[in-house]
């Protein structure tokens, strides 16, 4: 094992022996830390924006509701490379965001911030759709009663709507984190594959396999599968707890 300083602090290399393979592997675990940090920051941002926008959409009655909802959901349907292409057009040097950032002598593409932006865009629909469904399942009579009692819309939002929709909110939170940590196409298009800077676990798997290093690719696959299973178990456990609580309330 040896330590080398990178953009995210010490980069740890392990010599991982395999009984079924000759020799071992020099593993750089920076993609793991970058993936977790990226997914965490993206999920926090998605969490707040997802709750606010989904609650607003659940109460919005305008004619353009279908179009707005389609735009929020579009990254869930489009291939990630298409999402990354649109982000590249927006944030590149000739794009509106890129030109604005150029005034401050900064650039977004091929940076860790770009990995976060890509993760936010592709994971947002998971949070939005799940949370919006939870808000729409709230009995409208409860919210109407709160209004007749003089509660402001803000108090109704955080004192009544959020607690009632909490199971769906937590479900959306876990799903959006899982989607962010597995993002590949949009990240590659916008942030590139820079080891120690923008290389996440999915990118590490792809380029290890492309380079013929199947042992390293298999190890990364094992790590990301294990992490995904843990997230699914957390979601299932939370769902079981909520079902038990709902069962007690109805008795």
- CATH code: domain of residue 79: 1.10.3720.10
In a domain, 10, yes or no: no
196 sits in the region (left: phi over 0; alpha: psi -120 to 50; else beta) called left
Cα dihedral 218, 222, 225, 227, rounded to 10, equals -140
Residues 6+ apart with CB under 8 A from 94: none
Answer yes or no: is 158 within a domain: yes
Is residue 251 in some structural domain?
A: no
pLDDT cut 70: percent of the chain above it: 86
pTM score: 0.83
Token pair for 21: 């393979």
HSE-CB at 214 with a 13 A cutoff on CA atoms is 3
Range in 42-56, 84-98, 188-202, 235-249 the model is least confident about: 235-249
**Residue 204 and residue 220 in contact, taking contact as beta carbons nearer than 8 Å:** yes
Tell me if 23 is assigned to some domain: no
CA distances from 204 to 43, 115, 147, 208, 219 (A): 21, 14, 53, 6, 10
Q: Which domain holds residue 63?
A: 33-246
Predicted local distance difference test score (pLDDT) of residue 5: 46
**Residue of 59, 79, 81 lying closest to 69 (CA atoms):** 59
Residue 91 lies in a domain: yes
Asked whether residue 17 is domain-assigned, the answer is: no
* Alpha-carbon distances, residue 15 vs 1, 61, 111, 217 (angstroms): 6, 59, 28, 15
The total of structural domains in the chain comes to 1
Confidence class of residue 188 from pLDDT cuts 50, 70 and 90?
very high
pLDDT band for position 102 (50/70/90)?
A: confident
Q: Under a CB-based contact definition with an 8 Å cutoff, are residues 168 and 174 in contact?
A: no
Tell me the average pLDDT of the chain.
Answer: 85
Distance CA(100)–CA(81), nearest Å, equals: 24
- Rounded (5°) CA angle 213-210-223: 60
* Dist CA 188 CA 142 (whole Å): 46
Per-residue confidence (pLDDT) for residue 168, from 0 to 100: 87
**Tokens matching residue 122:** 């592709």
Residues present in the chain in total: 251
Strand, coil or helix: what is 150? coil
Asked if residue 223 is part of any domain, the answer here is yes
Rounded (10°) angle between helices 162-181 and 112-136: 150
Estimate the share of the chain in helix, then strand, then coil, as percent rounded to the nearest 5: 70, 10, 20
**In this model, does residue 16 exceed pLDDT 50?**
no
115 falls within a domain: yes
Average pLDDT of 80-91? 93
Mean pLDDT of 186-214: 92
Per the model's pLDDT, the better-predicted residue between 239 and 31 turns out to be 31
């Amino acid at each position: 094992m040896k330590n080398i300083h990178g953009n995210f602090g010490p980069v740890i290399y392990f010599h991982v022996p395999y009984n079924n393979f000759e020799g071992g592997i020099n593993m750089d675990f920076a993609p793991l830390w970058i993936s977790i940090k990226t997914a965490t920051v993206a999920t926090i941002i998605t969490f707040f924006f997802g709750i606010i926008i989904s609650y607003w959409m659940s109460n919005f009655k305008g004619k353009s509701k279908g179009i707005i909802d389609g735009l929020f959901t579009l990254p869930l349907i489009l291939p990630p490379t298409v999402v990354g292409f649109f982000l590249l057009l927006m944030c590149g040097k000739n794009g509106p965001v890129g030109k604005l950032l150029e005034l401050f002598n900064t650039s977004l593409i091929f940076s860790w911030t770009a990995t976060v932006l890509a993760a936010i865009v592709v994971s947002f629909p998971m949070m939005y759709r799940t949370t919006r469904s939870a808000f729409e399942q709230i009995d409208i009579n409860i919210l109407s009663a709160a209004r007749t009692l003089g509660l402001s819309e803000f108090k109704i939002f955080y004192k009544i709507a959020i607690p009632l929709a909490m199971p769906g909110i937590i479900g959306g939170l876990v799903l959006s984190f899982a989607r962010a940590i597995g993002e590949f196409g949009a990240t590659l298009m916008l942030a590139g594959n820079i080891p120690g800077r923008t290389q996440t676990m999915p990118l590490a798997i792809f380029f290890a396999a492309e380079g013929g290093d199947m042992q390293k690719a298999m190890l990364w696959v094992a790590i990301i599968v294990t992490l995904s299973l843990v997230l699914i178990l957390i979601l299932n456990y939370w769902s079981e707890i909520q079902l038990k609580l709902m069962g007690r309330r109805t008795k």
